[in-house]
Chains A and B, each alone.
Chain A
Amino acid sequence: MDMAQPLPFVLDVPETPEDQGSQEPSPYDESEVHDSFHQLIQEQSRWAAQEGLELQQRARGATGSGQHTLSGSEGAHSTATLRILASMPSRTIGRSRGAIISQYYNRTVQLRRRSSRPLLGNLVRSARPSLRMYDLELDPRAQEEEEKQSLLVKELQSLAVAQRDHMLRGMPLSLADKRSLREKSRTPRGKWRGQRGHGGICSCCGWLRYACVLTLHSLGLALLSSLQALTPWRDALKRIGGQFGSSVLSYFLFLKTLLAFNALLLLLLLAFIVGPQAAFPPALPGPVPVCTGLELLTGAGCFTHTVMYYGHYSNATLNQPCGGPLEGGQCSPRVGGLPYNMPLAYLFTVGVGFFITCISLVYSMAHSFGESYRVGSTSGIHAITVFCSWDYKVTQKRASRLQQDNIRTRLKTGVRWRNLGSLQPPPPGFKRFSCISLSSSWDYRCVPPCPADFSIFSRNEVSPCWSGWSRSLDFMIRPPRPPRVLVLQELLAEWQLRQGPRSVCRRLRQAAALGLVWLLCLGTALGCAVAVHVFSEFMIQSPEAAGQEAALLVLPLVVGLLNLGAPYLCRILAALEPHDSPVLEVYMAICRNLILKLAVLGTLCYHWLGRRVGVLQGQCWEDFVGQELYRFLVMDFVLTLLDTLFGELVWRIISEKKLKRRRKPEFDIARNVLELIYGQTLAWLGVLFSPLLPAVQIIKLLLVFYIKKTSLLANCQAPRRPWLASHMSTVFLTLLCFPAFLGAAVFLCYAVWQVKPSGICGPFRTLDTMYEAGRVWVRHLEAAGPRVSWLPWVHRYLVENTFFVFLVSALLLAVVYLNIQVVRGQRKVICLLKEQISNEGEDKIFLINKLHSIYERKEREERSRFRTSQAAVPPTLFTDERDA
């Protein structure tokens, strides 16, 4: 923002009232400063040696108020210099009100882009240091601040009311200051809120644009606040955040997101499919079966012929007295009433619902990516750890202590790593490390030549944050086992044991173990898929199973158990492999779990669309698939319940009572989120066959929220590992979008375009594929007349023609490529800017030194004028060079 701004050369500064109580005039006035500069440049060569000596000598003296202005050991300057330093704009902005006001004045002007009045920053930059700049860049004396304020007020007055409030809201001033600014900037005409801003014509365009943005913003805010008022979860989320930090909170927030997606989908379906159908109920084919209670689990029985499932929906145009198949077209539309074509509505609503979900998913994913991966975010891990890692939401003493432990370990490890790799001489404990093959100029981004050497930190607790710092090193660090900090000697011994000729062999062994575990996990996934396939075939073949309702539950139960058990198996297997880093471990666990779930779901999809359609000839196979998905969803919920009960509650009781351990189980965020994603995939898969499935999913999510919350608060403890909440939520959103949603969409597309709907039920019963409904409708429109002729045209050229699809995807690829190029260019610019800033910084140091020497000389002259002795400053020689 303003860091690239060249430093205004502020020499003659009245001192800040905050720092120094008195207002003593500066020893130089402006002309004298220029004079001294002139002199300075002339005499520079002559002074160079002498001045260097003085500076260093001063630097040895007492430190001022902690102003280490120059790099290295030099830090002490005379009070006059310090005063000037303290009033440099880059420093006052963090402290004084006047500086903040002037900064925001500049921003306001920029906002309005009025070229008639130059920015004050530009003024300062271009003009010679004159009195003009004092009221802008210096620490405020009372009337100067007022002047600045009045400038700002004038600017604010020309803004629209909403824009002004927005501006004021974002200013880092106290409420009283904001209020007074607001009072002053209120236009004399309209005295109250809701008045219209009277911006000039020149700012009209900007005003309009800004007004739009603001309206949207305030609309969003209103929506947000109303939602906040509605949601009963605010307190619950606050408690979770307070006790467990952001990481566990991210699970619940993810759950909330899912809930929102489902609610959106359900709203659409209710409004356009379920509602109309419920309003015009068709005649039931037979007597209603009696509900036994088991239907809640199986979804069959008395649920079958309800709006719950596809089969119930009619293929007629609803609000016409003469029902009939569509293509007959014998019913002319009634006057005044629009015909409601059910098949079309069914197809379009599901399509639009999926499209909206897709758009919002992709949008939130992109947003999340933008938030969590910034250009140049891979550097500066120490600074980020120190500045940004504290979670202010935490309200529990114990959680706060845990957080402190975490941060401490992270910092210590980080410092040690730096110690090993840096050029600086290592502290005494590291003497014997000199034999490590670390070259002195270690590049953190390079893959180390011999990775095995780095496992010396095997007991260290290393945070996932490390991935930001160095991708490659991160893989060499083992996950934390005990949360205690390692003693260096222990480290050393371990390292000595491990280094040397064994490293190659050990690497081989590591690779072998890794491969083996992967193989086993993939084998498990494959085994699960095969088991599901065999079992479902068995279910198809055995005729007696079809009769009983309870038998329907067997397949979901088996799949659910596999889903529950296999990840545990994989986790046990993962204990065999060498743990490289906690991040990698988490990602690997997620990846394996995902592969497993995908394999199972893929087999099931094949089973439904490939086998069941053939087997259930003459019956309503869509109903069956819908019921099956309902059963899976319910069984998933039941197993989640059991898992929570046994994995958390019983485990805690056992570990407390039997093992006498104080530790409670940790909440496994990744696994729980994956389960949510799995459940959501099931719901999406079933939307076409059971339009009310999102409602079931909503109920399930609500229950899961409360159950998980209760169990978490009672049984679990805060995770000991730090967790990159935003990165992880990005990953989860991506997973939700990419395999889950995309898979469901592909499944539905296949079902709509390729599979023949059953002939006895549902809205598409007379058609070859579900998509036929759309085609028939378009043909209908073509026949209807030229009024809507564009629609068939659109259909013919854009939907049925593949060329358009290719064009769109090519355009998309081009945009992606361009964006990549833009980012690369930005990176270059950032590098250049950084270089420039560090040059400016060196200039600043240089000027400060000069300034200091001027004061120094002046002081000495005065001193020599008053006292005759020259011994006040004994020149002693110091040999160390200033590193500039």
Chain B
Amino acid sequence: MGGSGSRLSKELLAEYQDLTFLTKQEILLSMYVVSAPHLVDNEQQARSGNEHTGTPIAERANGSPLSARAHRRFCELLPQEQQSVEASLRAQVSFERILSLPELKANPFKERICRVFSTSPTRDRLSFEDFLDLLSVFSDTATPDIKSHYAFRIFDFDDDGTLNREDLSQLVNCLTGESEDTRLSASEMKQLIDNILEESDIDRDGTINLSEFQHVISRSPDFASSFKIVL
């Protein structure tokens, strides 16, 4: 796995290791997913070939995994001089590329996840470091505290710092499926949201704030194990 370690400078790698919950392997792997194709050495090709055998064969043209292809397309769009390592660290990947990663494809919250982790002013692109942040929060070793914090921000659809009724109904729609026949009826939705607020809105102000949310999360043992994305 150390093949491309020399590409990413040692200091940078160490810094990423210190500041995120990721291991060296994971950083390199995410580097590979997001970065330019010339970083891919044979070993990683083989590894990622193993990894994506879950995707149907039709999607795996030429034996290259979907994510790599997605990014390769993206890199083709980049000007030639940007394809060095440093540039690709600075380069920002648009949401569509990230969303087509197999790990995120089936997730109903994928847009929200990208938006929450994006640091660009327009909130529509992810840099490599944002991507690392994302993976760090969703990694095995991240603390429950930071996981629940980001879960809150993902669920806070209007970014106003609390979960109000609109956020909750949007959240429930994401969970049950957006289409007409799958979503809950209006009365059910109202009842459900009333119940949720009754159960978790401790200070009775009609919205759920971060600490109330974390209080709910702390009672669910399955959260930390399900709030995970493995690259």
Contact = CB atoms under 8 A, between A and B. Distances in A.
Contacts, number: 270
Interface string B99-112: 00011011111000
Given A92-B161, A169-B20, A395-B106, A390 B226 contact: yes
A67 interface: yes
B49 to A, nearest CB: 10
Interface string B115-132: 001010000000001101
Contact of A841 (B14, B205, B216, B228): B205
A401 B176 CA distance: 9
Given A172-B149, A415-B188, A724 B222 contact: yes
Contacts of A726: 221-222, 225
Contacts of B165: 66, 68
A362 interface: no
A397 B105 contact: yes
B79 interface: no
A408 B25 CA distance: 38
B210 A93 contact: yes
A837 B202 contact: yes
A399 B226 CA distance: 14
Interface residues of B, number: 93
A399 to B, nearest CB: 7
Interface stretch (A239-247, A254-262, A704-712, A796-804): A239-247
A19 B145 CA distance: 26
Nearest to B131: A175
Given A179-B15, A391-B226, A91 B209 contact: yes
Contacts of A372: 221
A751 interface: no
Contacts of B164: 66-68
Contact of A70 (B25, B205, B214): B205
A175 B20 contact: yes
Contacts of B53: 239
B73 to A, nearest CB: 21
A601 B91 CA distance: 63
Interface string B78-105: 0000000000000000000000001101
A94 B149 CA distance: 7
A327 B140 CA distance: 55
A411 B203 contact: no
Contacts of B188: 411-412, 415
A182 B19 contact: yes
Given A175-B129, A238-B51, A838-B204, A411 B184 contact: yes
A90 B209 contact: yes
Nearest to B141: A221
A418 interface: yes
A392 B227 contact: yes
B200 A225 contact: no
A484 to B, nearest CB: 12
B204 A414 contact: no
B228 A90 contact: no
Contacts of B137: 172
A590 interface: no
B158 interface: yes
A18 B121 CA distance: 12
B217 A388 contact: yes
Contact of B105 (A379, A395, A724): A395
Given A182-B19, A224-B141, A396-B54, A388 B162 contact: no
A393 B228 contact: yes
A170 interface: yes
Contact of A383 (B129, B162, B200): B200
Contact of A94 (B152, B166, B171): B152
Most buried by A among B103, B137, B211, B223: B211
A387 B220 contact: yes
Q: Give the dominant DSSP class at B's interface.
A: helix
Nearest to A168: B19
A379 B50 contact: no
A607 interface: no
Contacts of B130: 174-175
Contacts of B23: 221, 224-225, 228
A427 B119 contact: no
Interface string A684-724: 00000000000000000000000000000000000000001
A75 B152 CA distance: 22
Interface string A373-412: 1101101111110111111111111011100110110011
Contacts of B14: 193
A165 interface: yes
A679 to B, nearest CB: 25
A397 B108 CA distance: 10
Given A66-B160, A174-B129, A387 B155 contact: yes
Nearest to A393: B228
A726 B221 CA distance: 6
A488 to B, nearest CB: 11
B219 A376 contact: yes
Contact of B225 (A1, A2, A175, A725): A725
Nearest to B218: A374
B226 to A, nearest CB: 5
Given A235-B51, A400-B108, A418-B191, A386 B196 contact: yes
B205 A844 contact: yes
Contacts of A837: 202-203
Contact of A397 (B18, B106, B211, B227): B106
Contacts of B225: 246, 725-726
B231 to A, nearest CB: 9
A399 B218 CA distance: 26
B105 A407 contact: no
23 contacts: A3-B203, A18-B159, A67-B160, A92-B161, A94-B156, A96-B161, A168-B18, A168-B19, A169-B20, A175-B19, A176-B119, A193-B14, A193-B18, A225-B24, A372-B221, A381-B199, A383-B199, A389-B226, A390-B108, A390-B226, A411-B175, A418-B195, A726-B221
Given A224-B141, A380-B199, 16 more contacts: A69-B206, A91-B209, A94-B213, A170-B145, A228-B25, A242-B54, A374-B218, A383-B195, A384-B220, A392-B138, A392-B227, A394-B107, A395-B106, A404-B175, A408-B176, A411-B188
Task: Please list the 5 inter-chain residue pairs (A to B) with the smallest Cβ-Cβ separation, ordered nearest first.
Answer: A841-B203, A91-B161, A95-B161, A3-B211, A380-B199
